[in-house]
Amino acid sequence: MHGAPEFLQSLAIVFCVAGLTTVVFQKLRQPVVFGYLIAGMIVGPHIPIPLVADPATIQELSELGVILLMFFLGLEFSLRKLLRVGPTAGVVALIQSSFMIWLGYETGRFFGWPPLESFYAGAILAISSTTIIVSAFREHGIKGKFTEIVFGILIVEDLIGILLIAILTAVSSGTAVSARELAMTGGRLAAFLAGLLLVGMLTVPRLVRTVVRLNRPETTLVASVGICFACALLARGFGYSVALGAFLAGALVAESGVEKKIERLVKPLCDAFAAVFFVSVGMLIDPLLIGRHWIPVVVFLSLVVAGKVVGVTFGTFLAGYGVRTSVQAGMSLAQIGEFSFIIAALGLSSGATRDFLYPVAVTVSAATTLLTPWMIRWSAPVATIIDRHLPKPLRMFAALYGSWLEKMRQGGEPGRASHGRRRRFRMLLIDLVLVIGILVGASVWRIEVVVWIASGTGISVSTARYAFLAAVVLLSGVFCFGLVRGAWRLVDSLVVKAMPRAEPGKLDLAAAPRRALLVTLQIGIVLLVGMPLLAIFQPFLPGFPVAVPLLGVLILLGILFWRGAANLEGHVKAVSQVIVDHLSKQTETEGAEEDADALRKIQKLLPGLGHIVSLRLRPDNFSVGRTLAELNVGSLSGATILVILRGGEKAMIPSGKDNLQAGDVLALAGTPDAVEAARRILILGPESSR
């Protein structure tokens, strides 16, 4: 075999050094991925250590690692999981990824990079690392509610990463991004995905189940890997990345229902070649090149940490999770990893990016990989600090917002209202597609249409250009107006579902919380639609500050939100007096049934306070003798204590200095889960909420 000694030598060097660094980093309780990158630097050509592996050989083997790694990620991604995490993770992932693409693009343009290279920079920053997060959670034994939303976001981000790889593969033939290329790429990609998924769903799951029934592990392994490489080869044949084909193969195999058995068989093989992939990434790190470009490294590192924390935290909170869960999710996802390597390698191999961007991306990923365990450990204390320092109006809003969304998601409404809401949603999608189509079409056929107008009417090309621009603005403006009006009507109908309006002539006791919810959902709609459009169209309109109109709308909505939150605080204070009056009638009784009945009447009379329950403290309860600041109930549970009733005294929205005593009657508000967690904390202590 020609070249066999060099091949075996390179393979031996890589696995021996990687095995040593793996052991060292396991002992140091650090992610092994970072150890693989260090191993790559050791065996690479840029550091004078006499353990150099052949870069060409390792690069070929690393492509196997990419294919198997993406296949394994595909096994963990399934349509069932995507449906289960629902729109929540999709909202967060879409807002966060779009935000990071835009940040990366604008930063690249600030450094003077070409549009396509800047777009690559944004794509590199967009996707968090499933491998690193899963490893960190497993090594530190982290479980809980926030891990579910983190994994849901990762599933959707993986899908976004695959789409980015497919789009960048197609548009990397030139040196600039154009709307024509993107439109044609989108059509071809949609056709390829539809065809492969349609044929694959009809054949692959059945084939996999048939093979598994043979009960021969080696046959199952070989057949699964065969499907993986066949789909990777098919994707390459159509001009797409092998990563796309491997990921789709894993997703198709996952639909068989026996993916857990296949995961156990494939994982050792995947781990081995994934190690080679990460080592090959480390071999391309040139410390001298990084030293010359240390400013982009520092800037992009700051963008990843700050941008992802802000984007994920804000998106998770908008999706209905509390402050604590949102902050923990944001700090857990503040890194980039395998998708960033693949995207950076794609740009380097296609010539779309210069040679410095790859090591910059790898260095940023390595730094965030090292930071991830610490970020996860600090997330709970940071969440507590943020929650304690939130202004009272925001703290009150955060405690009630989740219960409003939960009420909004509940069924049981008249069929006519549900049908009308679905119709509004369909019209909203149609308007959105038409706006995007008009803008993309205008960019694609701008020159042809201007020439046609000029030749057909006899006017100058300059005049025809202005006429064309006016027509585009007018036509897109009509559908934009319909989009905004439809979105506002849809949001209003959802808010009314959660908190119905009072009958004409009667006092509307839910007006304040309804306004706060309405403005918050409007902010969510603006971000959900505006951020992806900003990320998509900014490369095509580099001279126009696309973010300015979006920022202006968000500032206006932010002012309205603050006013709504302040009104909500006043509303809750007024309602607390009603709760005190009702509960004071029950202070002489020891049973809780009277309290619960009174609070149910209040909840029906005063919608917008979420789920309300009362708790009478007993001498053996954990919270007796402790202050609310010590207990930290709001941060740990997401619920709020509306009232403390102690004999004849009345406490309106208690402060952290209040000391709880046996016999106190507390009114708790929030989602049912949050209220139950608060009850456990007050009775058993903070450990019971984990």
Residue pLDDT, tens place only, 274-304 = 788 778 777 777 788 778 888 888 999 999 9
**Cβ burial, residue 284 (10 Å; 0-12/13-18/19+):** buried
Task: Give Cα separations from 419 to 147, 411, 416, 424, 500 (angstroms).
Answer: 35, 12, 5, 9, 18
Q: Which residue has the tokens 């530190």?
A: 140
DSSP classification of residue 627: B
Q: What is the CA radius of gyration of the chain?
A: 28
Residue 223 and residue 50 in contact, taking contact as beta carbons nearer than 8 Å = no
CB count in 10 Å sphere of residue 57: 19
Pick the more confident residue, 355 or 31: 355
* Greatest Cα-to-Cα distance within the chain, rounded to the nearest angstrom: 93
643: closest CA among 585, 579, 567? Answer: 579
- The answer, yes or no, to whether residue 590 has pLDDT greater than 50, is no
CB count in 10 Å sphere of residue 50: 4
What does the alpha-carbon distance between residue 332 and residue 380 come to, in Å, rounded to a whole number?
11
What does the alpha-carbon distance between residue 617 and residue 663 come to, in Å, rounded to a whole number?
5
- The answer, yes or no, to whether residue 420 has pLDDT greater than 60, is yes
What does the alpha-carbon distance between residue 162 and residue 247 come to, in Å, rounded to a whole number?
8
Q: Which amino acid is at 122?
A: G
414 φ, ψ to 5°? -60, 145
Instruction: Give how far the C-alpha of residue 651 lies from the chain's centroid of Cα atoms, to the nearest Å.
Output: 40
- The answer, yes or no, to whether residue 540 has pLDDT greater than 70, is no
Sign for the CA dihedral angle at 290, 293, 299, 300 comes to negative
Selection from 414-418, 485-489, 650-654 with the highest mean pLDDT:
485-489
3-state helix, strand, coil split of the chain in percent (to 5) is 75, 5, 20
Sign for the CA dihedral angle at 164, 169, 172, 178 comes to negative
- The answer, yes or no, to whether residue 104 has pLDDT greater than 80, is yes
pLDDT at 2: 47
Read off the pLDDT of residues 195-225 as tens digits, 9 standing for 90 and up: 887 888 888 888 988 888 888 888 888 998 8
What b/e sequence results for 641-680 when a residue is b if at least 16 CB atoms lie within 10 Å of its CB, and e otherwise? Answer: bbbbbbeeebbbbbeeeeebeeebbbbbbbbebbbbbbbb
For domain 4-389, give the CATH number.
1.20.1530.20
Q: Which residue has the tokens 């976004």?
A: 160
Q: Which amino acid is at 365?
A: S
pLDDT band, very low/low/confident/very high, at 176 (cuts 50, 70, 90): very low
Please state whether beta strands 611-616 and 665-670 pair in parallel, antiparallel, or not at all (unpaired).
antiparallel
Average pLDDT over the chain, rounded to whole? 78
Pick the more confident residue, 364 or 647: 364
Long-range contacts, 16-19 (Cβ 8 Å, 24+): 17/42, 17/43, 17/51, 17/279, 18/275, 18/276, 18/279
- Superfamily in which the 574-689 domain is placed by CATH: Regulator of K+ conductance, C-terminal domain (3.30.70.1450)
Long-range contacts, 223-227 (Cβ 8 Å, 24+): 224/253, 224/262, 224/265, 224/266, 225/68, 225/71, 225/266, 225/269, 227/252, 227/253
pLDDT at 307: 92
- The answer, yes or no, to whether residue 421 has pLDDT greater than 60, is yes
Residue 262 and residue 75 in contact, taking contact as beta carbons nearer than 8 Å = yes
The structure's pTM equals 0.78
Q: Which two tokens stand for residue 193?
A: 């995905």
What does the alpha-carbon distance between residue 396 and residue 390 come to, in Å, rounded to a whole number?
9
pLDDT at 175: 44
Instruction: Give the per-residue SS3 of 472-532.
Output: HHHHHHHHHHHHHHHHHHHHHHHHHHHCCCCCCCCCCCCHHHHHHHHHHHHHHHHHHHHHH
Residue 14 and residue 281 in contact, taking contact as beta carbons nearer than 8 Å = no
Pick the more confident residue, 647 or 299: 299
